[in-house]
Amino acid sequence: MSKSILVTGGAGFIGSHYIRYLLRQYPDIEIWNLDALTYSGNLYNLKDVEKDERYHFIHANLCKQEDVSALFEHQKIDEVVHFAAESHVDRSIYGATPFIETNIKGTFHLLEASLKADVQKFVHVSTDEVYGSFPVGMAVEDTLLAPKNPYSASKASSDLLCLSYQHTYGMPVVISRCTNNYGPNQYPEKLIPFSIKNLLCDKPIPIYGDGKQQRDWIHVYDHCRGLDLIRQGGREGEIYHIGAENTVTNFEIALKLLEIMDKPNTLIDHVQDRLGHDVRYALDTQKIRKELQFQPSISFAEGLKDTVYWYLEHEDWWDTVRNPYQVEEK
Ligand SMILES: NC(=O)c1ccc[n+]([C@@H]2O[C@H](COP(=O)([O-])OP(=O)(O)OC[C@H]3O[C@@H](n4cnc5c(N)ncnc54)[C@H](O)[C@@H]3O)[C@@H](O)[C@H]2O)c1
């Protein structure tokens, strides 16, 4: 095997797509998927690759330093791609502890072990939310961080921790910051799968406030492509934005889903807005486009339709999803 890559959080939404992407792209790669299998971790997401000899699952928790060290002691790891995190803003508002534990302390444990093991690359997967709300214009990679909720603050903290290891110890850290992802296998607490789940049984889609919050949406497959360009060619100590520059409001998404699923607009239910809700995120993605020749390949119209059909056709997957979080019941 030419390279051994540790993927953390590989049983989750984006991590599972990334593992599949790596296995398809590189015949001579070995992958270690470290995942604690929290509520959103689902090994069923990787059912199609679980028997692949190049793929190994490690049930471990980043919050336990000994779990992390044990893997590095027993296995030579060349590169790390770090997805594992608590990632739902609403959950962070109702209880920030696991966000501080996993996103900050867990990242610290992983950095320490990776430093000792002298890894050749450490890709930290982050988010556009670290810049906070951006009413006009676009954030560039050195825009001041201004996270506004416990989730984004914990991600911003982990970004800074990663950069400090690059600066202090010369660790080969690269950071990606991506916009909102959609696609198959996403835990149904996020807007798109949550809405599809409700529409499947003719329940209303709860839309926060006026629904005018704007997000840039990228298909998870394109996020994985961008991440892999960063893993291979991203410069150490640098941050790269990944996005589709395709900004849509939450209300527009609800309308598109109703149209694709042939449901009436009366199923939109405006509910009380999220506390401190960021109005708009917008990333400038020129750097990755120019430096690493990244271009998104899936249009939102095409990707959203395919995504809806995927959820409609995968009852087997729904059966494996644990404790869906009922935002509208809060
Ligand atoms: N979903 C998005 O739109 C989006 C956008 C930009 C960036 N990101 C970032 O991408 C990453 C993955 O997001 P996702 O949407 O796939 O999340 P997810 O919730 O689907 O997956 C997270 C995974 O991490 C695992 N995990 C959580 N705590 C852990 C711990 N302490 N130890 C080991 N494993 C643990 C979970 O079991 C799960 O498999 C996160 O870092 C997130 O901040 C997500």
- Please name which of 83, 80, 86, 81 lies closest in space to residue 40, comparing C-alpha atoms: 86
- How far away, in angstroms, is 82 Cα from ligand 1 center? 9
Collect contacts of 318-325 with beta carbons under 8 A, ≥24 apart: 318/197, 320/42, 320/44, 321/42, 321/187, 321/188, 322/39, 322/42, 323/39, 324/187, 324/188, 324/189, 324/194, 324/197, 325/39, 325/88, 325/90, 325/91, 325/189
Is pLDDT of 330 > 60? Answer: no
Is pLDDT of 112 > 80? Answer: yes
Is pLDDT of 308 > 80? Answer: yes
Rounded (5°) CA angle 314-317-322: 145
- How far away, in angstroms, is 26 Cα from ligand 1 center? 23
Residue 96 one-letter amino acid: A
Give residue 1's pLDDT band: very low, low, confident or very high (50, 70, 90): low
> Measured between alpha carbons, how far is 131 from 282 in angstroms, rounded to an integer?
9
Please report, rounded to a whole number, the percentage of residues in the chain having pLDDT higher than 70.
97
Give residue 13's pLDDT band: very low, low, confident or very high (50, 70, 90): very high
One-character DSSP codes across 218-233: EEHHHHHHHHHHHHHH
Is pLDDT of 328 > 90? Answer: no
Is pLDDT of 326 > 70? Answer: no
| Pairing label, strands 29-35, 55-59 | parallel
* Fold of the domain spanning 3-181+218-242: Rossmann fold (3.40.50)
Is pLDDT of 212 > 80? Answer: yes
Task: Give Cα 63 distance to the centre of its chain.
Answer: 19
Is pLDDT of 223 > 60? Answer: yes
Please report, rounded to a whole number, the percentage of residues in the chain having pLDDT higher than 90.
91
- How far away, in angstroms, is 187 Cα from ligand 1 center? 10
Predicted pLDDT at 275: 86
Predicted pLDDT at 324: 52
Stretch 194-219: mean pLDDT, rounded? 94
Give residue 138's pLDDT band: very low, low, confident or very high (50, 70, 90): very high
> Measured between alpha carbons, how far is 45 from 192 in angstroms, rounded to an integer?
17
Average pLDDT, the chain: 95
Residue written as token pair 């398809």: 24
> Measured between alpha carbons, how far is 242 from 124 in angstroms, rounded to an integer?
13
Tell me, what DSSP letter sits at residue 283?
B
- How far away, in angstroms, is 115 Cα from ligand 1 center? 22
Q: Both tokens of residue 68?
A: 């992390």
Residue 172 phi/psi, 5° resolution?
Answer: -75, 70
> Measured between alpha carbons, how far is 87 from 190 in angstroms, rounded to an integer?
10
Which residue of 7, 8, 87 sits with most ligand 1 atoms within 8 Å of its CB, as the best mutation to test the pocket?
Answer: 87
Contact 214, 282 (CB under 8 A): yes
Catalytic residue among 55, 151, 182, 240: 151
Give the sign of the dihedral formed by CA 201, CA 202, CA 207, CA 213: positive
- The model's pLDDT over 195-205, given as tens digits with 9 standing for 90+, comes to 999 999 999 99
Residues forming CATH 3.90.25.10 domain(s) in the chain: 187-215+246-279+300-329
Is pLDDT of 267 > 60? Answer: yes
Residue 286 one-letter amino acid: Q
Predicted pLDDT at 322: 77
Predicted pLDDT at 11: 98
Stretch 183-195: mean pLDDT, rounded? 96
Is pLDDT of 329 > 50? Answer: no
Which residue of 40, 190, 216, 240 sits with most ligand 1 atoms within 8 Å of its CB, as the best mutation to test the pocket?
Answer: 40
Contact 177, 126 (CB under 8 A): yes
Give residue 323's pLDDT band: very low, low, confident or very high (50, 70, 90): low
151 labelled catalytic: yes
- The model's pLDDT over 30-73, given as tens digits with 9 standing for 90+, comes to 999 999 999 999 999 999 999 999 999 999 999 999 999 999 99
Predicted pLDDT at 327: 40
The set of residues, in sequence order, having a beta carbon less than 8 Å from that of 326 and lying 6+ positions away, is: none
Instruction: Compute the chain's Rg from CA coordinates.
Output: 19
Stretch 148-167: mean pLDDT, rounded? 98
Give residue 2's pLDDT band: very low, low, confident or very high (50, 70, 90): confident
Burial class (CB in 10 A: 0-12, 13-18, 19+), 75: middle
Stretch 122-143: mean pLDDT, rounded? 96
Residue written as token pair 């961008």: 226
Catalytic residue among 67, 79, 86, 128: 128
128 labelled catalytic: yes
- The model's pLDDT over 279-297, given as tens digits with 9 standing for 90+, comes to 899 999 999 999 999 999 9
The set of residues, in sequence order, having a beta carbon less than 8 Å from that of 89 and lying 6+ positions away, is: 129, 149, 151, 152, 274
Q: Both tokens of residue 143?
A: 């825009």
> Measured between alpha carbons, how far is 299 from 315 in angstroms, rounded to an integer?
25
- Residues having CB closer than 6 A to ligand 1 are 8-9, 11-15, 35-38, 40-41, 61-63, 83-87, 102, 106, 125, 127, 155, 178, 180-181, 187
First-to-last C-alpha distance (Å) of the chain: 49
Domain 187-215+246-279+300-329 - what CATH class?
A: alpha beta
